[in-house]
A = this chain, B = another copy of it.
């Protein structure tokens, strides 16, 4: 797999938090899992327009290692895998609340279009 050489010593909390959120789709994954509680791989894929299968699995693995995401595999005939947030994932989501609100305000200020994908909890 040869990825994720992260987890360096951090200078402050922002540093340590941004390390686990930086990644093109991680914020969105957090949001999707927070909104729906439980999602399967193909559901997440459909919820993140433009993501490739490779990036989705890669990000999910890293978030699992970081203790944000729980992965439940069911040994069934068509394989079924369910993803959900752990307790740490949920608290991270709460901590991201004010940042999301600031971002929404920035979008309004700068006149950026919001690509709507689904209803969000970040406003």
Contact = CB atoms under 8 A, between A and B. Distances in A.
A99 B7 CA distance: 17
A77 to B, nearest CB: 35
Which range holds the interface residue count of chain A?
A: 35 or more
Given A17-B102, A98-B94, A100-B17, A28 B12 contact: yes
This protein's copies in its complex:
2
A90 to B, nearest CB: 11
A13 B122 contact: yes
Given A9-B113, A10-B115, A112-B7, A103 B27 contact: no
Given A11-B115, A17-B103, 6 more contacts: A11-B114, A12-B104, A12-B120, A13-B105, A18-B27, A91-B102
